[in-house]
């Protein structure tokens, strides 16, 4: 619950001092990203380590580079400098056990919910598995998000929340070690969003998956994450980090969370003032 140093997990730092005792599942070292044709980098000097099973939220003002960073961490975009490793192996392309979801559920309208969840399981770069095995995974994933009743429906017949659940099930069918979520609930109404946050908690617990969640909603970050990372500056890097060691769900810890919230907001305000000056 304390604000740590700016780069708390430098790879040359002694292991004893890092709060992460397990070997990180995903690690970024000195990552910089500069889009071709742009004068300055979007991200610079980003160091990060994700522990197995850990949920980290990325906060930051609009356009700061959160989505760009997530694309780098997903292996969708190669960094211009630095490395991203998964289980100590360099990430080349999207790893089959990294699942990505965006604000747009990206369901294919010509496939049923079930087929959408199964989509991509038989692609060339995915691990080989029998038909029975993938059917079982799809069924399990759909059950996990509570959509078994609707599995033969087409996306046009689904509500926004159901569509986002389907997108989550598509991630789960790959038995992910890491979930990367870019504002997945951003387009949902308040009530549905709360439901989805609880679903995310359940999924992370049931699948023992690590997750990185980009969100605009500080409360969402406070409710679901073990750690909150604030991105800021241009080029962007981590400008603040908060560890939250409270049990989940956290609706009973409003007071504790409130203190962190104030801290995050004042850090945000500080950077805004510095930028204005």
Binding site for Mg ion (CB under 5 A): 67
CA angle 57, 147, 140 (to 5 degrees): 80
Half-sphere exposure of 130 (CA within 13 A, CB side): 3
Considering the rule CB under 6 A, would residue 66 count as an interface residue with ligand ATP? yes
- Residue 94 contact, options ligand ATP, other proteins, Mg ion, none, Cβ 5-8 Å cut-off depending on partner type: other proteins
Token representation of residue 247: 């049990």
Helix (H, G, I), strand (E, B) or coil at 48: strand
Binds ligand ATP (CB under 6 A): choice among 62, 130, 149, 273: 62
- Residue 62 contact, options Mg ion, other proteins, ligand ATP, none, Cβ 5-8 Å cut-off depending on partner type: ligand ATP
Considering the rule CB under 8 A, would residue 128 count as an interface residue with other proteins? no
Instruction: Count the neighbouring beta carbons within 10 Å of the beta carbon of residue 243.
Output: 18
Applying CB under 8 A, the site for other proteins has a residue count of 22
Helix (H, G, I), strand (E, B) or coil at 179: strand
Considering the rule CB under 8 A, would residue 175 count as an interface residue with other proteins? no
Considering the rule CB under 6 A, would residue 232 count as an interface residue with ligand ATP? no
Furthest C-alpha separation in the chain:
62
**Ranges assigned E (strand) in the chain:** 26-33, 43-50, 55-59, 81-86, 89-90, 98-101, 178-182, 210-214, 227-232, 237-243
Considering the rule CB under 8 A, would residue 276 count as an interface residue with other proteins? no
CB of 45 to other proteins, least distance (A): 26
Considering the rule CB under 8 A, would residue 191 count as an interface residue with other proteins? no
Binds ligand ATP (CB under 6 A): choice among 3, 67, 194, 267: 67
In the region spanning residues 35 to 54, those forming contacts with ligand ATP, defined by CB under 6 A, are 35, 42
Residues that bind ligand ATP (CB under 6 A): 35, 42, 60, 62-68
């Amino acid at each position: 619950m304390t604000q740590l140093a700016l780069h708390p997990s430098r790879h040359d730092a002694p292991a004893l001092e890092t709060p992460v005792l397990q070997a990180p599942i995903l690690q970024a070292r000195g990552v910089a990203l500069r889009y071709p044709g742009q004068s300055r980098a979007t991200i610079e000097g980003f160091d990060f380590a994700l522990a197995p099973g850990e949920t980290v939220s990325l906060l930051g003002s609009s356009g700061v580079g959160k989505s760009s960073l997530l694309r780098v961490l997903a292996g969708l975009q190669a960094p211009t400098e630095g490395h991203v490793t998964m289980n100590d192996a360099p990430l080349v392309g999207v790893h089959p056990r990294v699942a990505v979801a965006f604000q747009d559920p990206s369901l294919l309208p010509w496939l049923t919910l079930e087929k959408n969840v199964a989509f991509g399981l038989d692609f060339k770069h995915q691990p080989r598995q029998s038909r029975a095995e993938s059917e079982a995974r799809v069924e399990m994933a759909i059950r996990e998000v509570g959509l078994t009743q609707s599995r033969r429906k087409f996306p046009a017949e689904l509500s926004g929340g159901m569509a986002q659940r389907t997108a989550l099930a598509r991630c789960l069918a790959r038995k992910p070690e890491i979930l990367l979520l870019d504002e997945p609930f951003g387009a949902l109404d308040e009530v549905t969003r709360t439901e989805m946050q609880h679903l995310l908690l359940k999924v992370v617990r049931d699948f023992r998956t690590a997750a990185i969640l980009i969100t605009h909603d500080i409360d969402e970050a406070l409710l679901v994450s073990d750690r909150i990372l604030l991105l800021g500056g241009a080029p962007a890097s981590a400008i603040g980090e908060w560890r939250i060691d409270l049990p989940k769900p956290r609706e009973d810890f409003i007071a504790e969370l409130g203190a962190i919230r104030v801290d995050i907001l004042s850090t945000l305000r500080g950077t805004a003032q510095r930028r204005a000056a």
